[in-house]
Each structure stands twice: as structure tokens, then as C-alpha cells.
Amino acid sequence: MRFFVDEDLSPALVAECHRAGYDATCGRDRGMLGASDQAVAALCLSEDRILVTNNASDFLALAREAGLHPGLIVMPLATRSEECVWMTAVLRNIEEEAKAASHALAAMMVNRLVEIDEAGQCHHYDYP
């Protein structure tokens, strides 16, 4: 799996992804601070990156327009340490879900939305 962490969340989430063995980047590292949601969505589509964001409404609309997308993870805004704990939890959850369904990780996330709540619970949805 490959991830792009939106600028509304801590760039420390990139390191959490790396620790778990995944490729990740963020707007800061790609020179995209202040980039439009459309530009971020286009990058994620072109590089097959799962978007990690707090900005659900805008990116859900863009994912619906795209029709086929690599996946979306939505989490609440919080402190850096809370966001890192949630990122670790969502990665583990995706791994467990994929294993239980006998799916490859990246394939598991295609056209999927995973929301993580403040209690650390993950909720999976097909989207669109």
C-alpha cells in the first residue's frame, strides 16, 4: 500500500506508515502545501496512493467523480500522538481485514473508505 497524508493531518503519519513497512508521503514532502483538493486527488490517482485525510466531504466527492480510486482513510483531527496511534490502528485493521478476506492489501482498499473514530474503531465502506 502507498499513502498520501493530507496537510490537515500531522506529517508524522508518514513515519508511522514507514515503520509499518509502507510507502508514504505528504504535501509538505512533495511541495504541495496549499495545493487544491483536485491536485491532491489527481496525484493520489496517478501514483495509486491511498489518501489519509480529515477532509471527508471534499475528497468523497472527488472519489465519486473518479469512479475508481485507490482508497480513502478518514480520521478526526487530534494531537500528533493521537493521530499516530490511530494511523497504526488503521494499518493493522486493514491488514487484518485483507487477511480475513484473502485479499492483497492494495486490492482491499480499491474503492474503499475506512473511517477511524476517536475511540480507535475502524469502519469500512465501499465507496462509491
Domain boundaries, the chain: 2-126
* Dihedral angle, C-alpha 117, 122, 125, 128, nearest 10 °: 60
For residue 57, the model assigns a pLDDT of: 85
Q: For domain 2-126, which architecture applies?
A: 3-Layer(aba) Sandwich (3.40)
SS3 label, residue 122: strand
Cβ burial of 49 (10 Å; 0-12, 13-18, 19+) is: buried
- CA atoms lying within 13 Å on the CB side of residue 123: 8
pTM for the whole thing? 0.94
* Dihedral angle, C-alpha 80, 51, 43, 55, nearest 10 °: -70
| Residues 1-24: tens digit of each pLDDT | 999 999 999 999 999 999 999 999
| Residues 66-117: tens digit of each pLDDT | 889 999 999 999 999 999 999 999 999 999 999 999 999 889 999 999 999 9
Peptide bond into 128 cis (omega under 30): yes
Task: State which amino acid sits at residue 20.
Answer: A
